């Protein structure tokens, strides 16, 4: 074999190995994916602007997902269910960056599913469960708005399922109710990036508009009643 053929073969093998390793790491990196947005970015107007939805989905949420995939691989959690990872690493300083980013990836998956244009009020079994848990749909709305509005600093307000009842609670930063064994049914983002462009510091107006006009009760029922 002459020298040029040898060099060409060698380069070919190196290129192939490089290409394969690139493919496999890209595949691993896809473990956490952005949930598909089931509406156009302007569909939540006038309550949440197209610009807010676009920045929130395409920049903030995307970054949490990308970072999660990098850190899942770095810490060797590839293939493990997201809720299991979060429960396992909660409170461990070594994994705080993964906990925050992966929590936020899951939270935003739930958030973008929790909103829907032209929302209809809850009905049937879903409404019965709300009535049983809070007394009435109006009482639910009042408590949900109040708790979201009064949560200090960044975080989330959740409707969760605890056995056969619904409860409202808030979490800070990127935490998610799955870490304490509860099922998140609806989740609303309280970070300023989710409302500041539209409402400035008026979180109560954002909470009121979202609660009264955008909550996706079909999604809630699909989580709750299965």
Binding site for Mn ion (CB under 5 A): 60, 189, 191, 194
| CA-closest candidate to residue 103, choices 149, 54, 67 | 67
Q: Which is nearer to Mn ion, 134 or 158 (CB)?
A: 158
Which residue, chain included where needed, has tokens 């949900």? 144
Q: How far is the CB of 107 from Mn ion (least distance, A)?
A: 7
Q: Which is nearer to Mn ion, 191 or 219 (CB)?
A: 191
Q: How far is the CB of 48 from Mn ion (least distance, A)?
A: 12
Q: Which is nearer to Mn ion, 52 or 166 (CB)?
A: 52
How far CA 159 is from CA of 6, 56, 68, 69, 216, in Å, comes to 65, 21, 25, 27, 12
Q: Which is nearer to Mn ion, 52 or 134 (CB)?
A: 52
Q: How far is the CB of 167 from Mn ion (least distance, A)?
A: 22
Q: How many CA atoms lie within 13 A of 57 on its CB side?
A: 22
Q: Which is nearer to Mn ion, 60 or 147 (CB)?
A: 60
Q: How far is the CB of 104 from Mn ion (least distance, A)?
A: 7
Residues 6+ apart with CB under 8 A from 90: 99, 175, 179
Q: How far is the CB of 191 from Mn ion (least distance, A)?
A: 5
Cα–Cα distance for residue pair 156/149, rounded to 1 Å: 10
* Residue closest to Mn ion, measured at CB: 189
Q: Token pair for residue 116?
A: 């829907």
């Amino acid at each position: 074999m002459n020298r040029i053929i040898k060099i060409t073969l060698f380069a070919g093998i190196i290129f192939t190995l490089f290409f394969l390793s690139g493919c496999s790491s890209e595949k691993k990196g896809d473990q956490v994916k952005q949930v598909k947005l089931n509406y156009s970015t302007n569909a939540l107007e006038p309550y949440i602007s197209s610009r807010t939805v676009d920045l929130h989905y395409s920049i903030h949420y995307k970054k949490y997902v990308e970072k999660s995939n990098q850190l899942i691989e770095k810490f060797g959690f590839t293939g493990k269910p997201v809720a299991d990872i979060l429960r396992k690493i909660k409170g461990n300083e070594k994994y705080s960056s993964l906990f925050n980013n992966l929590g936020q990836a899951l939270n935003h998956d739930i958030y973008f599913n929790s909103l829907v244009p032209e929302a209809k009020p809850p009905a049937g079994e879903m409404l019965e469960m709300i009535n049983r848990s809070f007394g009435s749909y109006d009482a639910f709305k009042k408590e949900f708005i109040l708790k979201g509005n009064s949560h200090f600093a960044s975080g989330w307000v959740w409707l969760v399922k605890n056995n056969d009842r619904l409860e409202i609670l808030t979490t800070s930063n990127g935490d998610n109710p799955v870490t304490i064994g509860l099922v998140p049914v609806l989740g609303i983002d309280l970070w300023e990036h989710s409302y500041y462009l539209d409402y400035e510091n008026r979180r109560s107006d954002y909470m009121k508009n979202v609660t009264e006009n955008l909550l996706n009760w079909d999604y809630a029922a699909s989580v709750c009643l299965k």
